[in-house]
Amino acid sequence: MKKSETISRSSEEKKIIYLVGEGTGETITKIARAALAQFHKERTEVKTFFMVHDEHYISRIIKQASEDDALVAFSIVQPDLRDFLIKEADKRGIKAIDVIGNFIIQLSLFLKEKPLEIPGRQYILDEDYFRRIEAINFAVKHDDGKHPNGLKIADIVLVGLSRTGKTPLSTYLANQGWKVANVPVHPDMETPEELFQIDQKKIFALIISVESLVKLREARLEQLGLESGAKYADPVQVSNEIDWCNNYFKKHPKWHVIDVSNKAIEEVAASIVTIYQRLKKH
């Protein structure tokens, strides 16, 4: 059997969940993570099996699932493979959940149209795909304050102190098709004039708690092999930077202040998109 990716470390008390897909598994993984966020992570172990294209591989997965007494969640659109997996699971007394199949069936009934049953169709090179690629390239080019002259064509501009998540948030939003630029701010750093020459309502200012920022900066120092007690992660220094940041943001009342303390990137991104789309309607 192909080696599976284990999302969390196993223990005897954990319930095991298998994610099975015939593609890259991106869709089912996102769905599973969103659902599991409602439960205690330490109680579950998730094993993934992707690029599943034949019955023999499915048989081995279900056999292993039986030994693990696992729940199987799958995303397979080819009818023959899907039916085979369900039969194998029934034969071994394993619960198998068709994550998107039921939704497709209901859509088919509602739209009065037979589904195309093409694996990975969501990744077809259409207009939306090229829009996302363009947005990703834009985010990379305009990361960390580079090329400030491009701020005027950005959909969203993020500002904030170092390690407030500007870059990963830019990348995440870019994958959704938004052109995002980010600009660092700091009491000892001069902010580019171009930032104040664009529509101020598309600027999102990221704020964070002292505790959260200290942890993030300590982790960064550890990655670089530097001492965690450096000034960069000193609580007093960090507190002073955040106080400055709060006062700085107040000088720009049209900016949208977003608290990112202990929040998942998905949650922060959703808040930003909601505000941005609401503004676009007015």
The CATH number given to whatever domain includes residue 147 is 3.40.50
Same domain? For 233 and 270 the reply is yes
Q: Is the pTM of this model over 0.85?
A: no
Task: Give tens-digit pLDDT for 207-253.
Answer: 999 999 999 999 888 888 887 768 899 999 999 999 999 999 999 99
DSSP H or E stretch at residue 257: strand 256-259
Do 83 and 131 belong together in one domain? no
Q: Are 92 and 115 in a shared domain?
A: yes
Q: What average pLDDT does range 278-282 have in this prediction?
A: 80
pLDDT digits (tens, 9 = 90+) for 151-208: 999 999 999 999 999 999 999 899 889 999 999 999 999 999 999 999 999 999 999 9
Average pLDDT value for residue range 42-68 = 92
Range of the domain at 70: 5-123
Asked if 173 and 39 sit in the same domain, the reply is no
* C-alpha to C-alpha distances, 62 to 17, 20, 74, 166, nearest whole angstrom: 12, 10, 11, 42
State which of 123, 156, 179 marks the end of a domain. 123
Domain count, the chain: 2
| Same-domain status, 131 and 19 | no
Give rounded-to-5 percent helix, strand, coil for the chain. 50, 15, 35
